[in-house]
């Protein structure tokens, strides 16, 4: 059976500070036949790194007394502050942030390399709004990805692999399958 991957599994396998890093890394190393949705390859992964880099650049610019919000329309610096508070992290130094920016480039390559070389199929995006809506998931990108996997599962049996118990809630996915007369896939929380 093919393994459908939520983006968070791929990212966690490269994020050494993530609590599920080891298990995600092992899973990706030992399994094969990976599938993802087109939406994940483009734009989700592209935007993920673009956005994170913009946040870091914005903070770096504000720290070096340059204008902030280089390439964004809103205050990204505030966003990083919020994150720092949330995780009770002390303020990063310029060196930390520059190194972070460089590492984001390395990590982006690793993720893209994984998608280009280890993912055997990119499945089409689900355009069925009714199905997407019936998932009742507030996170629309996640709803689109799950819906794409459900459609694929009808012809090509899949296991849906994720770390996200909140958005990829079994109950909701099952309910949407009943409502839309779809075969229910196995959901694996790694």
- Judged by the rule CB under 8 A, the positions of this chain that interact with other proteins are 11, 15-18, 48, 50, 52-53, 55-57, 60-61, 64, 66-67, 70-71, 80, 83-84, 86-87, 89, 92, 96-110, 112-113, 116-117
Q: From 180, 186, 169, 170, select the one nearest 132 (Cα to Cα).
A: 180
For residue 40, CA distances in Å to 82, 122, 149, 171, 178 come to: 26, 9, 11, 23, 25
- Asked whether 32 and 73 are in contact (CB, 8 A), the reply is no
Smallest separation (angstroms) from other proteins to the CB of 128: 29
Radius of gyration of the chain (CA): 18
CB count within 10 Å of CB 6 equals: 25
How far is C-alpha 92 from the chain's CA centre? 24
Cβ proximity to other proteins: between 70 and 183 the closer is 70
CB count within 10 Å of CB 179 equals: 14
Cβ proximity to other proteins: between 26 and 127 the closer is 26
Cβ proximity to other proteins: between 128 and 164 the closer is 164
Query: What are the helix (H) ranges across 17-139?
Result: 21-30, 38-39, 46-63, 76-86, 94-117, 129-134
Cβ proximity to other proteins: between 110 and 127 the closer is 110
Cβ proximity to other proteins: between 74 and 87 the closer is 87
């Amino acid at each position: 059976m093919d393994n459908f991957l939520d983006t968070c599994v791929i990212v966690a396998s490269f994020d050494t500070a993530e609590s599920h890093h080891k298990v995600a890394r092992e899973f990706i190393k030992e399994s094969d036949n990976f599938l993802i949705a087109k939406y994940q390859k483009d734009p989700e992964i592209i935007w993920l790194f673009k956005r994170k880099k913009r946040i870091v650049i914005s903070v770096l610019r504000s720290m070096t007394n340059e204008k902030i919000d280089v390439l964004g329309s809103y205050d990204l610096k505030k966003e990083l502050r919020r994150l720092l508070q949330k995780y009770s992290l002390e303020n990063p130094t310029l060196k930390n942030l520059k190194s972070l920016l460089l590492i984001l480039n390395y990590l982006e390559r690793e993720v893209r390399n994984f998608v280009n070389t280890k993912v055997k199929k990119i499945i089409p995006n689900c355009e069925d709004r009714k199905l997407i809506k019936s998932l009742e998931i507030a996170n629309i990108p996640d709803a689109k990805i799950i819906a794409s996997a459900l459609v694929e599962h009808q012809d090509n049996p899949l296991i849906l692999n994720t770390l996200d118990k909140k958005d990829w809630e079994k109950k909701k996915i099952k309910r949407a399958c009943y409502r839309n007369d779809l075969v229910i896939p196995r959901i694996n929380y790694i």
